[in-house]
Amino acid sequence: MGTGSARLRTRPCGRDPADGTGRGCVPSSPAVPIFASCHGRTPPPPSGRPGPVCDHAETMAKSVLTPQSEDFPRWYADVVAKAGLAENGAARGTMIIKPWGYAIWERIQAELDARIKATGHDNVSFPLFIPYSFLQREAQHVEGFSPELAVVTHAGGEELAEPLVVRPTSETVIGDAMSRWVQGHRDLPLLLNQWANVVRWELRPRLFLRTTEFLWQEGHTAHATFDEAQAETLLILHHVYDDVIRNVMGIPSLLGRKTDQERFAGADSTYTLEALMRDGKALQLGTSHNLGQNFAKAFGITYSDADGGQQHAWTTSWGVSARLVGGLIMAHGDDRGLRLPPALAPVQVVVLAVKDEAIAACERLVGELTHAGVRTRLDGRTSQSFGRRAVEWELKGVPVRLEVGPRDLEAGSLTLVRRDRDRKETIPLEGAAAASADLLDAIQSGLLAEAEARRSAATTDVDTAAAVEGAGFFRLPWDRLGTGGEADLAERGYTVRCLVREDGAVPAPQENDGLIAYVARAY
RNA sequence: CGGGAUGUAGCGCAGCUUGGUUAGCGCGCCACGUUCGGGACGUGGAGGCCCCGGGUUCAAAUCCCGGCAUCCCGACCA
């Protein structure tokens, strides 16, 4: 054919290597950025001419999305639309989560749910409607939430005697139930969780990040002592949330305590996980609250202690939402779309049959991979062009793609593409399942390492609030900043994302001396 | 709530200033054929309450009045 040399130049692992072993150069080839030199150019001339260096790798670079560097919010909207994650609902601020977006959420849910149960919590389901009066029982709570409440005043064709609130969160209804369920100290701790939708009226919605209705998980617990409640608050923060977010989703986050300004309405102290997105803005991924005895007092959650005295319980609440999907997109996504960490990906390996005659071989591969415990999908939609399908899986962020075509079958090989690097390799068909499964761990840790490196490069130590300028995290002494400095920063669009001890640990509820404030612009 | 803009095919838009053929274009969709190793091509086709209501006129997507809806810009939140 005469195209061999051109191909070899563009693809270090050309499918017809001179040694004829079909092995290409899997272990030794340097990380060649195959599309770096031809980004965004016009399509290559018809193949068969040993002309330009780029061959088909050139079109591989053609971006379907607005580049991140050009307009990050637009890039985000493009990814959500083109990867088929979600779209706007008919009513303002609502969201339709599409199959791929929901599959990602279901994976997050599964990982969280397993850990929530493993730490002794039981799932329950509480009502969507809450009597308005419940909200009013806790002064801080109503005050914090009333601007974003959706209130039902009419139903069944009549005006309601007492309006109903569509739950913005469930501390109040659950507090009411707890007051009946908790009688003696033997009923404690009471460890509950629910998966639910909640409604908070939003003026500026953004798919996944801020919508009027959203899906989340909310945990609610009651304890006999402050210390137990505090231990629960931090257990969830570290061993449920951070474990999933870091080890499954591959996102490093800062764990710390919120300032009084940013505290949850009704909490004594709020702990948070804050992650840095690729545009240098911070995103709050989850919160865990020590509610002290505020809700116990408001709802009469009391118990008889071992000495027969009546005590108020100590409660906590904690939640993460489908916003995590938004965080995932913005933490890992690149100009070609989503990049899913394998531990999370609904599909870890997609096997793409270039033409019909490759389908049987693909089915065998899918069988081997599935047998090895890899979440695998076959793409045998040969009525659609190869390119369209390749782009689609790239947008969707599937970590590994195996392409099998007629030429591969002849050579006993296939093409492997890893999404984290967008590098193509030709490997033998024999053992390909095992080889691609082995890659998953490397991709997982690579994405986390990349995000960590990006964050540390974007974190700056400063001495004064005035020095806070631009993107990324700014560290400065909380003693020096104070509540006044916090207010000044707010006017310039910056917030104190969280307070952390000098040694990186999470501060105690009342601890205030020697803390570091992490400041950033946030979503 | 204040300011700016937009409603025309599933999506993105043109047409409106200066009223007048059958309301167009791109993408998508359907059929057939050729293709398939990075968003294929050809031919044919389907798809419209021109946001709603009124008015002006022989004639309104186009002009006038009134609604409604959506989007963008200024104070909060998983």
Which residue do the tokens 């999370």 mark?
A: A344
| Mean pLDDT to the nearest integer, A433-443 | 95
At A305, phi and psi to the nearest 5? -85, 180
pLDDT score at A60: 54
Burial class of residue A237, CB neighbours in 10 A (0-12, 13-18, 19+): buried
Q: What is the DSSP letter of A296?
A: H
> Cα(A255)–Cα(A231) distance, rounded to whole angstroms?
15
What is the spatial distance, in angstroms and rounded to an integer, between the CA atom of A264 and the C1' atom of B17?
55
pLDDT score at A155: 84
Q: Nearest residue to B72, CA vs C1'?
A: A204
What is the spatial distance, in angstroms and rounded to an integer, between the CA atom of A384 and the C1' atom of B27?
16
Residues 6+ away with beta carbon under 8 Å from A220 = A170, A171, A174, A175, A178, A192, A193, A194, A315, A316, A317
> Cα(A306)–Cα(A300) distance, rounded to whole angstroms?
19
What is the spatial distance, in angstroms and rounded to an integer, between the CA atom of A493 and the C1' atom of B5?
26
Nearest nucleotide (CA of A284 to C1'): B78
Nearest nucleotide (CA of A198 to C1'): B78
Tokens of A225: 């002592």
pLDDT score at A262: 92
pLDDT score at A34: 24
Query: Which pLDDT tens digit goes with each residue over A487-507?
Result: 889 888 899 999 999 999 999
> Cα(A245)–Cα(A191) distance, rounded to whole angstroms?
22
Query: Which pLDDT tens digit goes with each residue over A154-174?
Result: 888 788 999 999 999 999 999
Query: Which pLDDT tens digit goes with each residue over A119-140?
Result: 999 999 999 999 999 999 999 9
> Cα(A262)–Cα(A256) distance, rounded to whole angstroms?
12
Strands of A224-266, DSSP E? 253-257
pLDDT score at A66: 86
What is the spatial distance, in angstroms and rounded to an integer, between the CA atom of A90 and the C1' atom of B77?
22
Helix (H) / strand (E) element for A299: namely helix A294-299
What is the spatial distance, in angstroms and rounded to an integer, between the CA atom of A385 and the C1' atom of B36?
5
Q: How many residues does chain A have?
A: 523
Nucleotides of B under 7 A from a protein CB: 1, 35-40, 69-71, 73, 75-78
Query: Which pLDDT tens digit goes with each residue over A197-213?
Result: 999 988 888 899 998 89
Indicate whether A101 pLDDT > 60: yes
Nearest nucleotide (CA of A391 to C1'): B39
Nearest nucleotide (CA of A273 to C1'): B78
Confidence at A39, pLDDT banded by 50, 70, 90? very low
Helix (H) / strand (E) element for A390: namely helix A386-396
What is the spatial distance, in angstroms and rounded to an integer, between the CA atom of A162 and the C1' atom of B51?
37
Helix (H) / strand (E) element for A353: namely strand A349-353
Nearest nucleotide (CA of A415 to C1'): B37
What is the spatial distance, in angstroms and rounded to an integer, between the CA atom of A356 and the C1' atom of B31?
22
Tokens of A108: 């997050």
SS3 content of chain A, % helix, strand, coil (to 5): 35, 25, 35
Indicate whether A253 pLDDT > 70: yes
Q: Nearest residue to B78, CA vs C1'?
A: A321
- The rounded radius of gyration (Å) of the Cα atoms in chain A is 27
Indicate whether A12 pLDDT > 60: no
Order of all β-strands in the sheet with A376-379? A376-379, A349-353, A400-404, A413-418, A423-428
> Cα(A27)–Cα(A468) distance, rounded to whole angstroms?
45
Indicate whether A59 pLDDT > 60: no
Confidence at A408, pLDDT banded by 50, 70, 90? very high
Indicate whether A54 pLDDT > 50: no
Q: Long-range contacts of range A364-369, CB-CB < 8 Å, 24 or more positions apart?
A: A365/A402, A365/A404, A365/A414, A365/A429, A365/A432, A365/A433, A368/A433, A368/A434, A369/A433, A369/A436, A369/A437
Query: Which pLDDT tens digit goes with each residue over A452-472?
Result: 999 999 999 999 999 999 999
Tokens of A265: 């309405």
Which conformational region is residue A300 in: left (phi greater than 0), alpha (psi within -120 to 50 degrees), or beta?
A: left
What is the spatial distance, in angstroms and rounded to an integer, between the CA atom of A46 and the C1' atom of B54?
61
Indicate whether A484 pLDDT > 70: yes
pLDDT score at A238: 98
Nearest nucleotide (CA of A283 to C1'): B78
What is the spatial distance, in angstroms and rounded to an integer, between the CA atom of A204 and the C1' atom of B71?
11
Nearest nucleotide (CA of A90 to C1'): B70
> Cα(A433)–Cα(A438) distance, rounded to whole angstroms?
9
What is the spatial distance, in angstroms and rounded to an integer, between the CA atom of A48 and the C1' atom of B58?
66
Give the max Cα distance, chain A: 92
pLDDT score at A92: 80
Helix (H) / strand (E) element for A180: namely helix A171-181
Nearest nucleotide (CA of A352 to C1'): B37
pLDDT score at A9: 25
Indicate whether A381 pLDDT > 90: yes
What is the spatial distance, in angstroms and rounded to an integer, between the CA atom of A337 and the C1' atom of B45?
35
Average pLDDT, rounded, for chain A: 87
Residue of A520 and A43 predicted with greater confidence: A520
> Cα(A325)–Cα(A248) distance, rounded to whole angstroms?
13
Indicate whether A8 pLDDT > 80: no
Nearest nucleotide (CA of A289 to C1'): B78
Residue of A34 and A113 predicted with greater confidence: A113
A432 CB-side CA count, 13 A: 31
pLDDT score at A379: 96
Nearest nucleotide (CA of A382 to C1'): B36
Confidence at A276, pLDDT banded by 50, 70, 90? very high
pLDDT score at A62: 58
Confidence at A74, pLDDT banded by 50, 70, 90? confident
Contact A342, A372 (CB under 8 A): no
What is the spatial distance, in angstroms and rounded to an integer, between the CA atom of A263 and the C1' atom of B18?
62
